[in-house]
Structure 1
Amino acid sequence: MNIDLTGKTAIVTGSTEGIGFAIATGLANAGATVVVNGRASAKVDAAVERIGGSARGVAADLGTIEGHDALVAAEPEADIVVSNLGIFQPADFFDTDDAVWERHWQINVMPGVRLARAYLPGMEAKGWGRFLLLASESAFNIPVEMIHYGVTKTADVALARGLAKRMAGTGVTVNSVLPGPTLSEGVAAMLEGERASSGRPIEDVAADFVTSHRSSSIIRRAATVEEVANMVVYLASPHASATTGASVRVDGGVIETL
């Protein structure tokens, strides 16, 4: 299958590292002009340089309305939008106050809402577009150690489904993607203490984490960021024209449903 996104402009939020950077790189390799986004100008510039080609960047904090407005002012149109920005913070339910819940909501959910309002009408006018939200297997397997995170990811899945129905018949598809445990920089940082004390490769430490905390995993390891990005690039392509309103799993088999 040849995925050719030549002539398409793709915005990927939270794309200076991790899954977002892998997605931006994959889209660029398929021929898209990629807009990298992050909060810090230096990190955005570094990511753009690493991707090369026609990639460009916008430094804006999409956890705020002001940051969203700055992105849209800089990039008023897009053919592909990947709402990837997200945070996670393990904490017991009884230790998570309103501020933690609000922060997760504003970063994990509201950017997707705002981006949809900003870019879906333009896609509809063109008769083609791809809008993708990065959710998580935690949307269905709410993790007891971060219930607040799981709830926001369930909201992302619901948002994608609703938007897909709203865009019915327009040539615009909307889907959510559900990664499982993935060895991003953030996860590597979370596991760094164990890696340092054990002297074992980070991949092995991550595999132990998966088997201990996500015991239903079938692949028995963390996914790579590229494995997640591959699915996103496909869903962003013309080949995925009959897939919309779906929650597509790249979870290594963690979710225990058919």
Structure 2
Amino acid sequence: MKIDLSGKTALVTGSTSGIGYAIAKGLAASGANVFINGRNQDTVDVSVRKLDGVGGKVCGIAADVSTAGGCKALVAALPEVDILINNAGIFEPKGFFDIPDEDWTRFFEVNVMSGVRLSRAYLRSMMTRNWGRIIFISSESALNIPTEMIHYGMTKTAQLAVARGLAQIACGTGVTVNSVLPGPTMSEGVETFVKDLARQNGQSVDEAAANFVKQHRPSSLLQRFASVEEIANMVVYVASKEASATDGAALRAEGGIVSTIA
């Protein structure tokens, strides 16, 4: 299968590093014109330069999508897209009794409302053009709520509900809305987390990563962290014309952690 996204414009939020950057790279390599997004202009510019020559044209927009104002500014700079990847997100291990109200609000604004606001801005024009892709980067934590960060799990479950509802709104059009659920993935942020664990426990990074999976995701069939490229491969396919019959789905790329068939 050859995925060709030539002529399509894609926006990937939170894409200066990690899974978002890998998705942006994969979309560009498939011919899409890709807009990198992050909060810091210098970081955005660096990421754009790194992707120069990968395939489709790559540009950048600095905007804080965790705020209504930031989303409004982004949409003003880029009024229409064909492919919207709602990837921006934060996580933080913290015990339930230590999570203050403001953390619950902050996680919801970043992980959920960014996708809500941008989907509201772009979905109608996608439906008018009768083609579009909206993809929420959720997590297996949407189904297996992690006790070490319940506030994060809550936002990932909320993304599934939003995505399914939007898919139903776009019913019968050429627009699809889906969620992709990664499991533990070795992005830059997670790598820092694993290195901290290694220091705390007097282990190597590889030992800390393996022990994390065994302790916190024992049902994993993969028995390791996924790479960002492995997640991006799923997302690029879902964004393609070839995935036209995949709609309203929660697509698992979590290495078999969720121990159900469906």
CA distance in 1: counterparts of 2:236 and 2:40, whole angstroms: 25
For structure 1, the 5+ residue unaligned runs are none
Q: Does 1:115 align with 2:118?
A: yes
Aligned to 1:133: 136
Q: Which amino acid aligns with 1:22?
A: A
Deviation at 1:94, TM superposition (A): 1.1
CA distance in 2: counterparts of 1:208 and 1:161, whole angstroms: 34
Deviation at 1:217, TM superposition (A): 0.3
Q: Which amino acid aligns with 1:17?
A: S
Q: Does 1:142 align with 2:132?
A: no
Aligned to 2:27: 27
Alignment of 1:1-258 (within 5 A): 1-53=1-53, 54-195=57-198, 198=202, 200=204, 202-258=205-261
Q: Note closer, same or farther for the CA distance 1:89–1:120 as it changes in structure 2 (3 Å cut).
A: same
CA offset digits 1:198-253 (Å, max 9, x no partner): 563x4453222111110010010000000000000000000100000000000000
SS across alignment from 1:191: helix
Fraction of identical pairs, as percent: 56
TM-score normalised by structure 1 residue count = 0.97
CA offset digits 1:93-146 (Å, max 9, x no partner): 111111000000000000111111100111111110000001000000000011
Q: Which amino acid aligns with 2:45?
A: D
SS across alignment from 2:209: helix
Deviation at 1:92, TM superposition (A): 1.0
Work out whether residues 60 and 68 of structure 1, in 8 Å CA contact, stay in contact via their aligned partners in 2: yes
Deviation at 1:195, TM superposition (A): 4.0
CA distance in 1: counterparts of 2:206 and 2:163, whole angstroms: 32
CA distance in 1: counterparts of 2:140 and 2:259, whole angstroms: 10
Greater shift, 108-117 or 207-216, is seen at: 207-216
CA distance in 1: counterparts of 2:17 and 2:206, whole angstroms: 18
CA distance in 2: counterparts of 1:210 and 1:199, whole angstroms: 14
Work out whether residues 183 and 206 of structure 1, in 8 Å CA contact, stay in contact via their aligned partners in 2: no
CA distance in 2: counterparts of 1:194 and 1:96, whole angstroms: 20
TM-score normalised by structure 2 residue count = 0.96
SS across alignment from 1:156: helix
CA distance in 1: counterparts of 2:260 and 2:117, whole angstroms: 31
For structure 2, the 5+ residue unaligned runs are none
CA distance in 2: counterparts of 1:177 and 1:130, whole angstroms: 13
Deviation at 1:194, TM superposition (A): 3.9
Root-mean-square deviation (Å): 1.1
SS across alignment from 1:143: coil
CA distance in 2: counterparts of 1:203 and 1:173, whole angstroms: 38
Q: Which amino acid aligns with 1:49?
A: R
